[in-house]
Amino acid sequence: MSTIGLMVNGRTYSVDVDPETPLLYILRNDLKLNGPKFGCGVGQCGACTVIADGEAVRSCVTPVGSFKGSRIITLEGLGTPEKPHPIQQAWIEEQAVQCGFCMNGHIMNAKVLLDRNPNPSEAEIRQGLESVLCRCGTYYRVIRAVKRAGELMRAAGAAK
């Protein structure tokens, strides 16, 4: 066990755990966050995705000890019902959810994609999200939601 400082969604936390513990369990059980989900535990499905220093990271297989000094963003850190992130707004507008269990992974990976490429083609969206899995078949709407999110983000950027 050792004390590890974490910066999550702009707040700092100190947790006393084995540094080898996957970050996911700290986020869910110590920080009581619901966004990142346990989907596979082996880094295959993306449901546990968080963004650390701008990179999409699979928190179910990444030790908490490797996040020292990192700025971690979870789904909760994107926006709120009162002030939604354009991606969350796009997801609601496109109704891009069925059971919703995988949507954390899609939204967080979409954010990394759009931050790098604000106007992705459909092929780039498919490529960018290919490793994020959905069992209910929401993919068709996810593509639409990412396109709409890109439009909203570009519009917001232009307005500034």
Partner 1 sequence: MTIITDSTSASEGRIEDRLYEEAAHKGISRRAFLKGTGVLIVGLGMGGFTRMLDPTTAAADFSSIVDPSKLGSWLAIGQDNSVTLFFGKVDVGQGLFTAFRQLVADELDIPMERVKVVVGDTAVTVDQVGASGSTGLALGSPPVRVACAEARLVLLELASARLGVPVEQLTVHEGFISVRGAPSKRVSYGELIGGQRFTATLQWNGELGRPLSVTGRAQPKKADQLKVVGQSIPRDDIPSIVFGAEHHVTDVRLPGMVHARSIKPPVAGARPVRVDASSVGNVPGVVKVVTRGDYVGVVCEREEHAIRAAEQLKITWSEPSAPSFPTDWIGLFDYIRQAPSRSDTVVQNVGNVDEAFARAARVVQATYEVPLQAHASMGPACAVADWRNGEMTVWSGTQKPYGQREGLATFLGLPREKVRVIWKPGPGSFGRNDAGDVAFEAALLAREVGRPVRLQWMRHEAIAWDPKSPAALMSLRGAFDSAGNVIAFDWDNRSFSHQDVAPAENPPGETLVGQFLGFKREVRNVIGTPSEPYTFPNRRHTTHAIPPLKEMGSPLRTAHLRLPTGSVVTFASESFIDELAAAGGADPIQFRLRYLDGSRQATLLKAAAEAAGWDTRPSPKPGARADGAGVVTGRGIAVRGGAATVAEVEVHLETGRVRVTRFVCAHACGLIVNPDGLKNVIEGNLLHSMSRTLYEEVRFDRSKVTSLDWESYPMATIADVPDRIDKILINEPDSPPRGAGEETSAQTQPAIANAIFDATGVRMRRLPFTAGRVKAALTAHR
75 binds partner 1 (CB under 8 A): yes
**CA–CA distance, 26 with 70 (Å, rounded to integer):** 15
Determine, following the binding rule CB under 8 A, whether residue 65 of this chain makes contact with partner 1: no
Query: Is 104 a binder of partner 1 (CB under 8 A)?
Result: yes
Length of the chain equals: 160
Euclidean distance between CA atoms 12 and 81, whole angstroms:
23
- Applying CB under 8 A, among 5, 29, 68, 115 the residue interacting with partner 1 is 29
* Contacting residues for 155 by C-beta, under 8 A, at least 6 apart: none
Q: Any contact of residue 28 with partner 1 (CB under 8 A)?
A: yes
And the tokens for 151? 């439009």
66 binds partner 1 (CB under 8 A): no
Q: Which residues bind partner 1 (CB under 8 A)?
A: 1, 18, 21-22, 25, 28-29, 32-35, 37-42, 44-45, 47, 74-76, 79-81, 84, 88, 91-95, 97-104, 107, 125-127, 129-143
